[in-house]
Amino acid sequence: MPEVLFEDNHLLVVNKSAGQLVHGDQTGDPTLLDHCKAYIKESYNKPGNVFLQPCHRLDRPVSGVLIFARTSKAIDRMNALFRTQQVEKFYWAMSDRMPDEVEGEVSDILLLKDRKKNVVKIVEDHPDAQLASTSYRLLAELAQKYLWELKPVTGRSHQLRVTMKHLGMPIIGDLKYGHKEGLGSSIALHCRQMTFVHPVRKTEIEVKCQPPEEYPWSEMTNM
How is the chain split among helix, strand and coil, in percent rounded to 5? 15, 40, 45
Residue 150: which of 105, 112, 87 has the closest Cα? 105
Q: Note if 100 is an active site residue.
A: no
SS3 133: strand
**Backbone angles phi and psi of 116, in degrees to 5:** -70, -40
Rounded (5°) CA angle 143-183-54: 115
Residue 154: which of 194, 113, 107 has the closest Cα? 107
Could you tell me if 93 and 188 are in contact, meaning their C-beta atoms sit under 8 angstroms apart? yes
Name the active-site residue from 8, 25, 34, 59.
59
How many C-beta neighbours within 10 Å does residue 216 have? 22
Could you tell me if 187 and 62 are in contact, meaning their C-beta atoms sit under 8 angstroms apart? yes
* Helices and strands counted in the chain (H then E): 3, 11
Using a CB cutoff of 8 Å and minimum separation of 24, what contacts does 69-72 make? 69/10, 69/11, 69/199, 70/9, 70/10, 70/11, 70/12, 70/40, 71/9, 71/10
**Which sequence positions are flagged as catalytic?**
59
